[in-house]
């Protein structure tokens, strides 16, 4: 068990460019969550998957954001036409199916995005 891995750790991009982040959850975890954390704030829910199915998307996830988990293993989060307001830490977490409430969640170290 190597924990939840996120790549890259840091990304600096110019406004208007597209970026893609990757998350590798703990292998036996069915559920995968994406959160966004801005400076001085708590993480905010973006979306989550159960296996390959995307079950919920937050209203925070505009049309420029898309997430996939094609084989129920790793997931990608893509932001198109980035804006300065997208600058944040993007966190991924995983948990066993239906057990997040009692198990807790394992978080990755996050990808820090800076849009210049």
What are 77's strand-pairing partners? 21, 67
* Identified binder of other proteins from the candidate list 65, 95, 113, 115, rule CB under 8 A: 95
Q: Where are the beta strands (DSSP E) in 1-116?
A: 5-7, 10-13, 19-24, 31-37, 44-50, 53-57, 65-68, 75-79, 88-95, 106-107, 111-115
Binding-site residue total for other proteins (CB under 8 A)? 26
Least separation in angstroms between CB 42 and other proteins? 3
Output the CA–CA distances (angstroms, integers) from residue 4 to 20, 32, 36, 59, in the order listed.
Answer: 17, 10, 16, 25
Selected range binding other proteins among 17-25, 62-70, 80-88, 96-104, rule: CB under 8 A: 96-104
- Judged by CB under 8 A, the chain residues 9 through 48 that form the site for other proteins are 31, 33, 35, 40-45, 48
Contact residues for other proteins, defined by CB under 8 A:
31, 33, 35, 40-45, 48, 55-56, 91, 93, 95, 98, 100-102, 104-110
């Amino acid at each position: 068990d190597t924990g939840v891995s996120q790549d890259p750790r840091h990304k600096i991009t110019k406004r208007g460019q597209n970026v893609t982040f990757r998350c590798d959850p703990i292998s036996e975890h069915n559920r995968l969550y994406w959160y966004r954390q801005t400076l001085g704030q708590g993480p905010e829910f973006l979306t989550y998957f159960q296996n390959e199915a995307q079950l919920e998307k937050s209203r925070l996830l505009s049309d420029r954001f898309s997430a996939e988990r094609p084989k129920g293993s790793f997931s990608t989060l893509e932001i198109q036409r980035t804006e300065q307001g997208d600058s944040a830490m993007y966190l991924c977490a995983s948990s066993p199916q239906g057990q997040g409430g009692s198990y807790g969640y394992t978080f990755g170290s996050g990808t820090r995005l800076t849009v210049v």
